[in-house]
Amino acid sequence: MTPQDWWTLPGPNGFTTALARDLITKGVAAAKCPRPLPEGLHDAIRKKLADEYVVDTVVFDASNLKATQSPLHEMATLRRVSGASIGTVADFLENPDLADVAFIVEGISADHIQTWSYLLRAVMSERAESPPAAGPYLLLLLPTGWKADAEKRLLGQIGSRFWRGYMSSVDSFGWIAANGIRVGSGIDERLALATSIEVAAWSPSLLDQMTRFNLDDQISPTGSLELLSARRAWPYPCWENGLVDAWDDIPTPHALAAVAHGLWSDIERRIWVAQSKVLLPMIDSARRGIIRAYLDELSKHASPSSPYTKKVYDRTIKITDPWSFEWFEMITLLDGAVPLSHLRIMKDLKWVRDSLSHGKTIDKDNIKNLCEVWEEHVLDLMAAPVNGWDWPRTGQTLRMTVGPSGAGKSAWANRQAARVVSSDSIREEIFGTNDTPRNQGHVFRMARQRMAMVLKSGEDVILDATNIKTTDRKRIATSVPPDCSIEYVVIDRPLSEKMKTRGERAAGLIEEHHQTFGASITECLDGDGLPNVRLIDLRENSAGNQ
């Protein structure tokens, strides 16, 4: 991308657009810019005026103007207009050969402020009587190094545009896109690009250099910045020498000048900003994804009727919604209910979040560890906020058996052609037995995960479990996209028959399930009020048999 292309980005283009509009509407405009000028400014002004107003541009260097010379005569001669024909300001403004010309005036010395001040007032007086329908136009690029009152003495009531804070990350991303640099999907790639943008800040040339660093040096750029900084002498940065500009409203020195003068805290701040912009939203998405994955377990600890209470200093905070849990509560409440590897992941993510929240950057070794954990474990652990977003729509159906223990659900499921996900089989797989008093949350989470994998393949699946509680059924049903079909297959037998075939089931389990099933059957027969649920009632002597 050339310097000229850079001026088409929103921020720089906004500056030249405003400057050109001032010039054309008022006839005279002024701009305060650092020295050296931002690269390509003259060409950008020339192109803006030519493309949008059909006005030619001439640069007039006033630094060599002698006290005996008339600025108007000297500018006119640059367009081959005889100075003898320019006797007054009105002659200059009305000369047809100057009608479509804008003079960019550079190098006005402090000694000639009075001369130029009289000239500008005379031009503005003429313009007041006859507003500019055409040129000539005067654009003054004000020098640096003037005392505070010098500009006011020169311009009077003429305002000036100030080149400060026009560049932003929007422009940097535009520059990245225009150069064909792809924003990767991995944490390391996103972090590398964000760090390059924040460290380079408003300097497109440094951004160009940093995007050529290898990935590790983009993420942790201090060593490479030292090498680049050592290639030349850097004056102490200020706005006038073009080495400080506003970036996100913060005065930000050029990174290489900052390094040269030991301003490492500012480089550290920029790296922290980049890490915070990338990592904090990702870590919070992980928090929400893990809550979604373990919502059944966390819901036991926070509800409007039974809030979770915690004390922070002298304040008591009540949490009624598990979505409000932070990492500390999640780690505490899920301890013993989830695999230890998941707890370790949550602790790692909490550490990163806490570090960034306290203004500390994450070193490259911990960044590497985070990338590995994220790719290998976190993405699989998180539940997506849009259920089934990546599933094909093949007309696949989820069939959920609904019935108490011993009703014959597994016998029915095993006679069907569809694939079966059985909670009993998973329980035996995990615990080695189907009769266990331990926490069943992991069993049913695994069942839901396997069920989802079958549906994601485009195939029908049968979830063989009791599903006799309304909350359990709805949790499973709402994990499926509402445009996919669900069938509740209701199965039961008389209690006496179930007792005869109870096998090794725990004492009282058959009777308890029989009672719970009877209490929730009304909601079940109504499909739990879900529009994509169809009922198939296979109970003996059922009037609702379908």
Phi and psi at residue 435, in whole multiples of 5°?
-115, 95
Are 213 and 224 in contact by the 8 Å Cβ rule? The answer is yes
Residues 361 and 418 in one domain: no
- Measured over the CA atoms of residue 421, residue 424, residue 426 and residue 429, the dihedral's sign is negative
Three-class secondary structure of residue 515 per DSSP: helix
Interstrand relation of 161-162 and 250-253 (parallel, antiparallel or unpaired): unpaired
Identify the CA nearest to 98 among candidates 132, 65, 130, 129: 132
What tokens appear for 365 in the block?
Answer: 């070794």
Of 381, 413, 448, the residue at which a domain comes to its end is: 381
pLDDT at site 544: 40
Are 86 and 92 in contact by the 8 Å Cβ rule? The answer is yes
Three-class secondary structure of residue 435 per DSSP: coil
CA 546/CA 539 separation, integer angstroms: 10
Residues 141 and 30 in one domain: yes
CA 119/CA 93 separation, integer angstroms: 12
Of 240, 262, 284, the residue at which a domain comes to its end is: 262
pLDDT at site 546: 38
Q: Is residue 388 part of a domain?
A: no
CA 20/CA 13 separation, integer angstroms: 10
CA 47/CA 478 separation, integer angstroms: 58
Answer left, alpha or beta for residue 362, where phi above 0 means left and psi between -120 and 50 means alpha.
beta
Helix, strand, coil shares of the chain, percent, nearest 5, are 50, 15, 35
Q: Give buried/exposed letters for 30-56 (b at 16+ CB in 10 A, else e).
A: bbbbbeeebbbbeebbbbbbeeebebe
Q: Is residue 372 part of a domain?
A: yes
Domain hosting residue 419, numbered range: 397-537
> Which residue in the block uniquely carries the two structure tokens 């990492």?
327
CATH number of the structural domain spanning residue 525? 3.40.50.300
Residues 375 and 405 in one domain: no
DSSP 130: S
What tokens appear for 332 in the block?
Answer: 């505490």
Residues 158 and 174 in one domain: no
Q: Is residue 237 part of a domain?
A: yes
DSSP string, 9-26: SHHHHHHHHHHHHHHHHH
**Considering its fold, how many domains does the chain have in total?**
4
CA 328/CA 335 separation, integer angstroms: 11
Q: Is residue 543 part of a domain?
A: no
Q: Is residue 339 part of a domain?
A: yes
Of 381, 414, 444, the residue at which a domain comes to its end is: 381
Are 455 and 392 in contact by the 8 Å Cβ rule? The answer is no
CA separation (Å) from 356 to 50, 352, 517?
49, 6, 50
CATH number of the structural domain spanning residue 148? 3.40.50
Residues 226 and 299 in one domain: no
Are 44 and 11 in contact by the 8 Å Cβ rule? The answer is no
Q: Is residue 545 part of a domain?
A: no
CA geometry: angle at 69 spanning 66 and 75, to 5°? Answer: 110
Are 279 and 352 in contact by the 8 Å Cβ rule? The answer is yes
Burial of 505 (0-12, 13-18, 19+ CB in 10 A): middle
Residues 416 and 282 in one domain: no
Burial of 370 (0-12, 13-18, 19+ CB in 10 A): buried
Residues 147 and 188 in one domain: no
Q: Is residue 49 part of a domain?
A: yes
Residues 100 and 67 in one domain: yes
Could you read off the pLDDT tens digit of each residue along the chain, which spans 546 residues?
566 788 999 999 999 999 999 999 999 999 999 999 999 999 999 999 999 999 999 999 999 888 888 999 999 999 999 878 888 999 999 999 999 999 999 999 998 999 999 999 999 988 877 666 687 999 999 999 998 899 999 999 899 999 999 999 999 988 888 877 766 668 899 999 999 999 999 999 999 999 999 999 999 999 999 999 999 999 999 999 999 999 989 999 999 999 999 999 999 999 999 999 999 999 999 999 899 888 888 998 999 999 999 988 889 999 999 999 999 999 999 998 888 888 999 999 999 999 999 999 999 999 999 988 888 778 777 767 788 999 999 999 999 999 988 888 999 999 999 999 999 899 888 887 766 555 677 788 889 989 999 999 999 999 999 998 888 899 899 989 999 999 999 998 888 777 777 666 666 677 777 777 877 788 899 999 999 999 999 987 554 433
pTM assigned to the model: 0.80
Residues 109 and 19 in one domain: yes
Residues 228 and 349 in one domain: no
pLDDT at site 543: 43
Residues 188 and 75 in one domain: no
Q: Give buried/exposed letters for 416-425 (b at 16+ CB in 10 A, else e).
A: eeebbbbbbb
Q: Is residue 369 part of a domain?
A: yes
Residues 437 and 374 in one domain: no
Dmax of the chain from CA atoms? Answer: 123
